[in-house]
Chain A
């Protein structure tokens, strides 16, 4: 047993408003630069829908993730190492700009400078790639709120799959449809196929917290990670020629505060905490034969943070006491392992994703309400969950490789919570049999309700700080005395981004094309000024800034 800690996020989809605040704040924080215009580390998809990039879930086309070879061993779906190297001169499967969209801006100047005339001046859309007039025909959320779904909806790979199986068309007529939002970030997988695809070995998983990062200095732009990631959550910065991805806001995490997407989530639907898992069993779990067993296999390698043997082993591996305590209080552990109401996104890709979802009950509630039924009653809800096959099948294709039983169990737990809490809210006592019907106790249901509905900040986010005694190792910190409470009060300093130290990544200040920390490379250098990082420090005494 090799115990490792993994930061993880769970999103309770019922609470997603589809407001895109997470996407916007993430973009402002991380990808507000030339070369990353089309890059959305966080995006919110309306499902059913095509997703972003278009139809990324169609792995027969995109070849993302892993598959089992004839010997039953894991192999990249895009091919083995030799195949990858032999086809390196032109990547055989690679999403194009048209699969994302051509980024654009508007010619606002024309609104001011157009000559006097009979017609109103317009701000024409201009391509950010070529600078010329462009026609806008797709974006990161073009089919938002089912916009245009009557045309594109049947191209959703999951809709197609269910249709093939049932020969039945999923209805996109307004009154019969269902929809929900699916916010997506990098999954920070335990068995990442992007990492396995990288010819340069530039993608790595941090041993301390499991965050998957791209070493910008070692990436050589072969773009195999983009093929390899089945979630298409690694993006190619077409200006710098390097791969970029969601960083799980590691500079914030290291200081014990949640990611930007979670912090700004209006619906409070995101939960962040840590898991302890057995790193030795990851490959084994990812190699189970049946796709539908992958969810259980992954759940199995998540270790019980109260188990004395796990704690002993964790300490032996150098995991700090505060991390073990955080694992014990972890909201994601409760949602995923204790109550089993959170599920991984597309476990069949065999990457062991670590951003999980509580599937939405709302499609079912909405349908009940529209038909004039009591959507809080346990019988109505259970009946509807059992009979509304298509939403349940759709959710199962997303979260359990098609196993509807697991989804039904989760939805029934959510339904039981509604019914149980209604009795209490109406001044009565919660009926224990409602809880028992889903294999829980009333106490557990109440605790679940607290975490799901009251959702206090400190319960949603249980993030242990990176350890200050390791401060010299932190990517963001220069001096260990500057820790919170220490003489330097690191928190204030790191996020105001001022002071004599070089700007940390978290401090903002993005030059247009320069990298986050102000570093330029030989191609971005405009020939003006002297980029210090590109020259040896000849001044002598102090280190180059």
Chain B
């Protein structure tokens, strides 16, 4: 285990988490005005209506797959009588369609962004960096999935090393040693994902954190007093709200 491994798998994850959480808190506190989906449907709708749901719903599936794969120990599924072969077959059958939906959706959306003049004119540098990293993560993600599908049961069993390592991060006892010998493609997928997570708070991706689930429960009509809620000053951080924008004081 060399220093690089220790850094990549024992230190970097925590740096990314700090940036992700800290950056999100900063953004939420100081740039609510910039916190939006930055929709471009106003300029172009036809392609978006196909590509965007494909991408987003695919992403929901992919996220679910990652949660199951990373968080549920192999011993638990084994206890349910699910063999490794069954598990991997299931993962591939469900994972590949979702993954391809994400990939295809993103390719079409980037194509649209590049070819539609109005949409391209509204594309920021932040968007471009984000799209590159998102695409890289997805390409490597699909790559390792398809690659291991082709290798059959000789493929790399990430549930034996990556998943325990991932869980160990949350116990603050990172088992760096597990990560030393995983294939390069997996390493790239993970490192690129780190980059994406670090960029997350500073791009439009933040809109995912405010998915409006509470819409299902709130009353239709919202009354609010002119002055908004009054709050005291918090220690350490000065409120930045001006007198004409008291909602910032929350």
Alpha-carbon gap, A240 to B215, bound state (A): 23
Which residues of chain A in 193-232 are interfacial with respect to chain B, using CB atoms and an 8 Å cutoff?
A: 195-196, 198-201, 203-209, 215-223
CA of A478 to CA of B245, assembled, Å: 11
In the complex, whether A129 has a CB less than 8 A from a CB of chain B is yes
Residues of chain A lying within 8 A (CB to CB) of residue B230:
473
Q: Which of B209-250 contact A (CB under 8 A)?
A: 210, 212-216, 218, 220-228, 230, 237-240, 242-248
Which partner residue on chain A sits nearest B44 by CB separation?
A: A96
Q: Does B121 belong to the interface (CB within 8 Å)? A: yes
With a cutoff of 8 Å between Cβ atoms, the chain B residues found around residue A282 in the complex are 221
B184 sits at the interface (CB 8 A): no
A468 smallest CB distance to B (angstroms):
13
Is B220 in contact with A474, judged by CB distance below 8 angstroms? no
CB atoms of A192 and B221 under 8 A apart: yes
Q: When A82-B216, A474-B226 are in contact, do A505 and B42 touch as well, CB less than 8 Å?
A: no
Quick check: A544 and B215 within 8 Å, CB to CB?
Answer: no
Residues from chain B with a CB closer than 8 A to the CB of A203 are 222
Taking CB atoms and an 8 Å cut-off, the chain A residues in 457-485 that contact chain B are 466, 470, 472-478
Complex CA–CA separation, A147 to B88 (angstroms): 67
Give the residues in chain A near B185, CB-CB below 8 Å.
Answer: none
**Is A454 close to B, CB under 8 A?**
no
Partner of B207, one of A82, A191, A220, A466: A220
Closest to A534 in B: B30
Inter-chain contact B202/A522, CB cutoff 8 Å: yes
A508-545 CB mask vs B (1 if < 8 Å, else 0) is 00000001010101111000000011111100000111
Known contacts being A90-B53, A236-B42, A521-B31, is A191 close to B238, with CB within 8 Å? no
- Asked whether any CB of chain A lies closer than 8 Å to the CB of B33, the reply is yes
Least CB distance, B132 to chain A, in whole angstroms: 17
Q: Which residues of the other chain, A, contact B173 by a CB distance below 8 angstroms? A: none
CB-CB under 8 A from A320, the residues of chain B are none
Shortest beta-carbon distance from A435 to chain B in Å: 41
Report yes or no: A199 in contact with B33, Cβ–Cβ below 8 A.
Answer: no
Question: Does B223 lie within 8 Å of A216, measured CB to CB?
Answer: no
B56 at the interface (CB under 8 A from A): yes
- Whether a CB of chain B sits under 8 angstroms from the CB of A84 is yes
Enumerate B140-155 residues with CB–CB distance to A below 8 Å. Answer: none
A535 to B239: give the CA distance in the assembly, Å: 10
Look across to chain B and name the residue whose beta carbon is closest to the beta carbon of A537: B238
Complex: how many Å from CA A89 to CA B226? 32
Whole-angstrom distance from the CB of B50 to the nearest CB of chain A? 8
User: What chain A residues lie within 8 Å of B43 (beta carbons)?
Assistant: 96-97, 129, 238
Please, how many angstroms separate the alpha-carbon atoms of A293 and B153 in the complex? 71
**With an 8 A cutoff between CB atoms, is B48 at the interface?**
yes
Q: Is A383 an interface residue (CB 8 A)?
A: no
User: Are A536 and B238 CB-contacts (below 8 A) given A195-B221, A223-B41, A476-B244?
Assistant: yes
Name B126's closest neighbour in chain A (CB-CB): A523
Partner of B226, one of A82, A466, A501: A466
| A95: nearest chain-B partner, CB-CB | B42
Residues of A within 8 A of B228 (CB): 473, 475
Q: Are A218 and B247 in contact (CB under 8 A)?
A: yes
Residues of B in contact (CB 8 Å), total 61
Q: Does B111 contact A (CB under 8 A)?
A: no
Question: Closest CB of chain A to B10's CB: distance in Å?
Answer: 30
- Per-residue interface assignment for chain B, residues 47 to 91, with 1 indicating a CB less than 8 Å from any chain A CB and 0 otherwise: 011101101110000000000000000000000000000000000
Q: Select one of A89, A131, A192, A517 contacting B242, CB under 8 A.
A: A517
Choose among B48, B126, B214, B247 the residue that contacts A90 (Cβ–Cβ < 8 A): B48
Contact between B227 and A533, CB atoms less than 8 A apart: no
Expressed in whole angstroms, the minimum distance between the Cβ of B202 and any Cβ of chain A is 7
Q: Is A439 an interface residue (CB 8 A)?
A: no
The answer to whether A205 and B223 have CB atoms under 8 Å apart is yes
Chain B neighbourhood of A241, CB < 8 A: 36-39
Compute how far the CA of A203 lies from the CA of B220 in the bound complex, rounded to whole angstroms.
Answer: 10
CB distance from A250 to the nearest CB of B (A): 8
Complex A-B, nearest 10 residue pairs according to Cβ-Cβ distance, in ascending order: A473-B227, A521-B34, A199-B212, A217-B32, A241-B36, A221-B36, A196-B220, A502-B242, A537-B238, A204-B224
List 22 A-B residue pairs with CB atoms under 8 Å apart, sorted by A's residue number.
A85-B212, A85-B215, A89-B53, A89-B55, A90-B45, A94-B45, A97-B43, A195-B222, A205-B223, A206-B223, A206-B224, A207-B225, A217-B248, A220-B37, A221-B39, A238-B43, A240-B33, A466-B226, A502-B244, A503-B244, A533-B248, A534-B30
Residues of B within 8 A of A (CB): 27, 30-45, 48-50, 52-53, 55-57, 117-118, 121-122, 124, 126, 202, 207, 210, 212-216, 218, 220-228, 230, 237-240, 242-248
Given A129-B43, A201-B218, A282-B221, 11 more A-B residue pairs with CB atoms under 8 Å apart are A90-B48, A97-B43, A132-B117, A206-B225, A220-B35, A220-B207, A517-B242, A522-B27, A535-B30, A536-B240, A543-B239
